[in-house]
């Protein structure tokens, strides 16, 4: 049986099961490609007497000077519900601009990872900043398999090596709950985003830790989740109040969710904070102007975005993997 003809980088990529950019980086001994992948690609290249021509090598080393910000599909238009994405994107564009890079925004289906290869193979972007609100680990796995340079908002998956910037979610969850306990709340509820998300799990663990430290057990009946960090938390808050009218405090996993929860509390005939104290998360720009102004956990979202952009560019230049944790602090306003 004749060997398949190998004339181009695309042919080598097909045989190796990787992207063209990964083949190019491997044959140019880039630190962004693992040694195992380099060895596998070199074996294929030697077997088929494949060499990159000088013009092709120069072309392969060119950069687009563009980074893709990868986020979930938004609503028809950006609204206040999407404030977290807008604020972190503002920081990302600033960080990339300071490093001489442009930003391309990709809205992707959480269940589809085909976008990764499509955009990498075209050479339109040099790397990716991943901020999808669900199935983030699935997308990170796809990028790792392609050998694509990327950075994630959130902690990396255990045992995997890639760049990340994350908030200290466990500490933030504990600080929020401790504040409600200190304020005198006896029945503290928790409303999280999607229960499978690592950030949600860490904030919940902080909530549990604070309760246990105060000598209280976590009551699962006071815990609810919404699919995303959005206004569906209003329904969760309503359900909690109907089932447990004695709730006098709630830690909500985002400012947008917290503002919606406060509306549900008022809709039930209760007042914030007199009847139910509320603590949010993020300290988005809207938090200080909600009714009442929202007590929240600040993780400096714009600065976190700036770090995502700058750290990915540094990774492109050096191959160094960085994992940064952004400090959090309690911002006390009238809602608690």
Domains annotated for the chain, with CATH where assigned, are 9-60 (1.10.260.40), 66-166+303-326 (3.40.50.2300), 169-298 (3.40.50.2300)
pLDDT, one tens digit for every residue, the chain (336 residues): 445 567 777 888 888 888 887 887 788 777 778 888 888 888 888 888 776 654 444 345 457 789 999 987 655 555 555 788 889 999 999 999 999 999 999 888 777 778 887 787 777 888 999 986 556 778 888 888 888 899 999 988 888 889 999 999 999 999 999 999 999 999 999 999 988 888 999 999 999 999 999 999 999 999 999 877 777 889 999 999 999 999 999 999 999 999 999 999 999 999 999 999 999 999 999 999 999 999 999 999 999 999 999 999 999 888 889 999 999 999 999 999
* Separation CA 331–CA 296 (nearest Å): 5
Instruction: Note the maximum CA span of the chain.
Output: 81
Q: 226 is written with which tokens?
A: 């919404």
- pTM assigned to the model: 0.78
SS3 266: helix
Q: How many CB atoms lie within 10 A of CB 3?
A: 7
Which residue has tokens 């494949």? 50
Alpha helices (runs of H) in the chain, residue ranges in sequence order: 9-16, 20-27, 35-47, 54-60, 83-98, 114-121, 136-146, 169-182, 198-213, 233-243, 255-267, 301-318
Running DSSP on this structure, what letter comes out for residue 229? S
Query: Which element (helix H / strand E) includes 26?
Result: helix 20-27
The continuous run of DSSP H or E covering 152 comes out as: strand 150-153
Q: Compute the residue count for the chain.
A: 336
């Amino acid at each position: 049986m004749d060997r398949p003809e190998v004339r181009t980088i695309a042919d080598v990529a097909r045989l190796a099961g990787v992207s063209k950019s990964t083949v190019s980086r491997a044959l140019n001994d880039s630190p962004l490609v693992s040694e195992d992948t380099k060895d596998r690609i070199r074996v294929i290249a030697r077997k088929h007497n494949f060499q990159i021509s000088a013009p092709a090598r120069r072309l392969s080393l060119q950069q687009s000077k563009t980074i893709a910000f990868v986020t979930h599909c938004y609503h028809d238009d950006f609204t206040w519900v999407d404030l977290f994405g807008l604020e972190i994107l503002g920081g990302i564009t600033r960080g990339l601009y300071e490093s001489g890079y442009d930003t391309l925004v990709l809205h992707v289906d959480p269940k589809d990872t085909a976008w990764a290869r499509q955009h990498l193979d075209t050479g339109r972007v040099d790397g990716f900043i991943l901020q999808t609100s669900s199935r983030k680990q699935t997308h990170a796995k796809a990028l790792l398999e392609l050998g694509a340079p990327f950075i994630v908002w959130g902690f990396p998956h255990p045992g995997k090596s890639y760049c990340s910037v994350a908030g200290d979610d466990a500490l933030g969850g504990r600080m929020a709950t401790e504040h409600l306990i200190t304020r005198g709340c006896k029945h503290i509820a928790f409303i999280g985003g999607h229960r499978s998300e690592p950030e949600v799990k860490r904030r919940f663990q902080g909530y549990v830790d604070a309760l246990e430290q105060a000598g209280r057990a976590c009551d699962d009946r006071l815990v609810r989740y919404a699919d995303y960090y959005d206004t569906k938390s209003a329904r969760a808050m309503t359900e909690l109040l109907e089932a447990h009218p004695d709730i006098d405090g709630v830690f909500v996993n985002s400012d947008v969710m917290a503002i919606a929860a406060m509306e549900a509390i008022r809709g039930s005939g209760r007042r914030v904070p007199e009847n139910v104290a509320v603590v949010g998360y993020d300290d988005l720009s809207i938090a200080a102007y909600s009714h009442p102004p929202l007590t929240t956990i600040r993780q400096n979202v714009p600065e976190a975005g700036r770090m995502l952009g700058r750290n990915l560019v540094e990774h492109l230049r050096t191959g160094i993997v960085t994992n940064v944790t952004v400090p959090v602090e309690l911002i006390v306003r009238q809602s608690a």
